[in-house]
Structure 1
Amino acid sequence: MENQNVKEMVKQIFTEYLNAHGHHKDKAYNSVILHVAEQTDCEVFRLNGEEIPQLHLPCPNNVRKHYDELCQTEINPYCYSILRSLPKLTVHSWFTALQSERFEQKTKVIFERLKRYENNWEDTFFVTLARNFGFGLNGDAFEAWANQLPFRSIDKHRDSLMQVEAFFFGQAGLLDEQLPDEYYRQLQKEYCYLQHKFELHRTDISSWCFAKLRPGNFPHVRIAQLALLYHQKRALFSRIMETETAKDVKDILSAIHTSDYWERHYNFDKTSPRQIKSLGDATLNLILINTVIPFFYAYGLHKADEHLCERASLFLETLKAENNHIIRSWANVGLPVYTAADSQALLQLRKEYCDKKKCLYCRFGYEFLRKG
């Protein structure tokens, strides 16, 4: 039912737009009590013939000029010319707000995933971790793969790394070829048995990407790492939620490596010089930033535990800033980027404001418009 008591204000550049769009014939506009326009070039009326009061609110020429500069520049960030002169308080307060926005976005995704997994935090955490093991290029493929892992069936064979790998590689569609490799054949045999036992079904994942990847990032290696982690670390999510520092989390995750076979392989049936494929510090930082820390925040909200939420923020402040082209572009124009909290704020700013041309909603954009 329409609420007849709701009063509205309409803002436009030209008054004539209200009539041109036919709003003067729309009963929904009968509730308008004030029409604000930059140029009041005609009278406007409600459907019953009553005139709507108007406010003439012109845009200052310098504001228009600066806004046109923002819209027309091809340099990103568009407001680069003022960033070095911004007060520290302005930068800090906007960074803090952007960090909160980013936490909220990531938390929303976690809660949606949690609902899919019937409030099982362990499964939800592992699927999120798997997605982030794709490190962007294979993120969607890893999530699609993790979504079809039968966790309760795998748990019954969790003590056998061979069988966990069979589950993982089989559900990834990476055991469908005929290869002379003995280890590969063993995995095929195990997967055939498990597939029959648990009536496993899977959809083909044809989107595994190998181009532009270093061998250490090949899906086979990442899946092998996740298999060993799942085999060794029961209640991984619970363990991590009990940690007090980022170093404690790294101590748990630094155990991630692979079975012996993968120390000499990046792919099935293709040998390589022996190398223990553990996670480097930069990779561990990315896992903390994109998986662990958002879960601290989300779980803190779920439990109404402020300490967990505060721990998420504290962890970000103790980690080094990410190093990618977006962060470097901000640093090059004078913004301080010291910690992961800073880099997360700037990623949020770029993706949600700069890329969407939402300069009018940005505090830096506001400062640009009001400059002398």
Structure 2
Amino acid sequence: MEQLIHYVWKHKMFPLTGLKTTDGQEVEVIDPGLHNRNAGPDFFNAKVKINGTLWVGNVEIHDRASDWFLHRHDRDPNYNNVILHVAASIDVDVKTQRGEYPPQVRLKVPPDVREHYEELLTTDEYPACYRIIPNLSKLMVHSWMSALQTERLEQKTDAIVQRLHDCEGSWEAAYFVTLARNYGFGINGDAFETWAKHIPLQDIAHHRDDIQQIEAFFLGQAGLLETNAIPERYQENALKDAYFAQLKSEYQYLSHKFGLQQMDATQWRFLRLRPQNFPHIRIAQLALLYYNRQTGLSQLLDCETVKEVRKLLTTQVTPYWESHYVFGEESAKCEKRLSTASLNLLIINTVVPILFAYGTHKNAEKYCDRAFNLLDTLKAERNHIVRMWQEVGLTVDTAGDSQALIQLKKAYCDRKDCLRCRIGYEYLKGNSALKE
């Protein structure tokens, strides 16, 4: 419960009068201080009056006072300037490394706050705070959604910066890897990222004018030109397939020329996957996009509207794949274009984060602004997370809204991290909906 005591102190959710130290001195909390999540005292630069004297310094908080010694604060000079020790249970006097005895206050978590916190942690309803959502002010919801939206983009930026590092500082390569990852549309995301990192873009650039060589390069590096990567029931037909033979021959030549190392094809997942999402089809779409010079970061940076980005990312497949989903089995002929819904997901999960990350890294605010504008222009995603929030009363209009609520669920609700959530704060302090 120590986290809850931190929370109660931080937000002053305790009676502000009648607070006394263990030796009877009156305590007035002017400022609880700045919450420190790193090493050292829990709150910096707090201001408290003890018997009318103003003290400015640090505050340390524990569940039990004896935790002070358990955590060895009595040997750490960083705790010498603690002006007040706060604990739910005072079972011992505490002592600093300098030999001084900081005053102590027993802080009881108010019963209603404790009750509401336990409700958040144990309720079977999801989200646990559903009762107060209709009573939240529009200003509070808007403010929190904006913060969550930015938080999600910052989190995605961290992943892109890591890819940038893996790609030796090449933004073009980092963009290609990010785009490829999101061609996995969730299920094959990890496999597509692994695949993209196996594509040496500088080498394949020499063969950019030959779509068949690009497909051979792409499918070969995916391990999908190996016979054992083809389901047994299709292997006999695949081995008689002229296009499969051509691609395999091309890849053997390219592999020898560039010393290629393909990925393990067992990483690809097919179970419960719609044929439209088979890696063969998605890779063929990426191959044509690359062939048409539509995968470059410079082209993306020139796009200012959703319409322009959709046009840039629009692609289909080459004639062979119009009548195939895998090698060795023909299907009804279909262009297999990316749907508008798929293009929107690519904009949300690839284009927006790349623009935000690039703008942040290059200190170019216009790209960050463009990222937010794209989210505000696109309609909200339709998935179970969005539906859940709509059912409990939140309005979800734009992709910015849906991204914010996905962040809320994954970063807060799933982790039961209600103490960092602004809706959790409203619940703990006792919104009127809880008193009905």
Q: TM-score, length-normalised on structure 2?
A: 0.81
Give the structure 1 partner of residue 108 of structure 2. 58
**2:225 & 2:311 partners in 1: Cα distance?**
32
Give SS of 2:135's match: coil
Superposition pairs of residues 65-80 of structure 1, within 5 angstroms: 65-80=115-130
1:368 aligns with 2:427: yes
Give the structure 1 partner of residue 52 of structure 2. none
List alignment gaps of at least 5 residues for structure 2: 1-38, 46-56, 228-234
Give the structure 2 partner of residue 132 of structure 1. 182
* Residue 24 to residue 235, structure 1, CA distance change in 2 (3 Å): closer
How far off its partner does 1:282 sit? 0.7
Give the structure 1 partner of residue 138 of structure 2. 88
Whether the aligned pair in 1 keeps the contact of 2:276 and 2:336 (CA below 8 Å) is: yes
Give the structure 2 partner of residue 189 of structure 1. 249
Q: TM-score, length-normalised on structure 1?
A: 0.94
1:223 aligns with 2:273: no
**2:116 & 2:429 partners in 1: Cα distance?**
8
Give the structure 2 partner of residue 116 of structure 1. 166
How far off its partner does 1:115 sit? 2.1
* Residue 244 to residue 29, structure 1, CA distance change in 2 (3 Å): closer
* Residue 195 to residue 22, structure 1, CA distance change in 2 (3 Å): closer
What percentage of residue pairs aligned between the two structures are identical?
50
**2:73 & 2:410 partners in 1: Cα distance?**
38
1:27 aligns with 2:86: no
How far off its partner does 1:47 sit? 4.4
Whether the aligned pair in 1 keeps the contact of 2:352 and 2:374 (CA below 8 Å) is: yes
Give SS of 2:335's match: coil
**1:284 & 1:257 partners in 2: Cα distance?**
12
The structure showing larger relative contact order (alpha-carbon pairs under 8 Å, at least 6 residues apart) is 1
For residues 123-171 of structure 1, what are the alpha-carbon distances to aligned partners after superposition, in whole Å with 9 as ceiling and x for unaligned? 2111111000011110111111110112111100010000000000111
**1:24 & 1:189 partners in 2: Cα distance?**
69
More displaced 10-residue stretch of structure 1: 297-306 or 262-271: 297-306
> Greater CA radius of gyration, 1 or 2?
2
* Residue 13 to residue 200, structure 1, CA distance change in 2 (3 Å): same
Segments of 4+ moved more than 4 angstroms: none
**1:319 & 1:332 partners in 2: Cα distance?**
21
Q: Which amino acid aligns with 2:362?
A: K
Superposition pairs of residues 1-372 of structure 1, within 5 angstroms: 8-19=58-69, 21=70, 23=72, 26-27=75-76, 30-31=79-80, 33=82, 34-47=84-97, 49-177=99-227, 179-233=239-293, 236-254=296-314, 256-371=315-430, 372=432
How far off its partner does 1:46 sit? 2.5
More displaced 10-residue stretch of structure 1: 119-128 or 335-344: 119-128
* Residue 330 to residue 232, structure 1, CA distance change in 2 (3 Å): same
**1:153 & 1:24 partners in 2: Cα distance?**
58
Whether the aligned pair in 1 keeps the contact of 2:289 and 2:295 (CA below 8 Å) is: no
What RMSD, in angstroms, separates the aligned Cα atoms of the two structures?
A: 2.0
More displaced 10-residue stretch of structure 1: 24-33 or 229-238: 24-33
For residues 43-98 of structure 1, what are the alpha-carbon distances to aligned partners after superposition, in whole Å with 9 as ceiling and x for unaligned? 22234543221123221111111111111112221111101110000100000001
Whether the aligned pair in 2 keeps the contact of 1:145 and 1:205 (CA below 8 Å) is: no
How far off its partner does 1:234 sit? 5.2
**1:99 & 1:192 partners in 2: Cα distance?**
46
List alignment gaps of at least 5 residues for structure 1: none
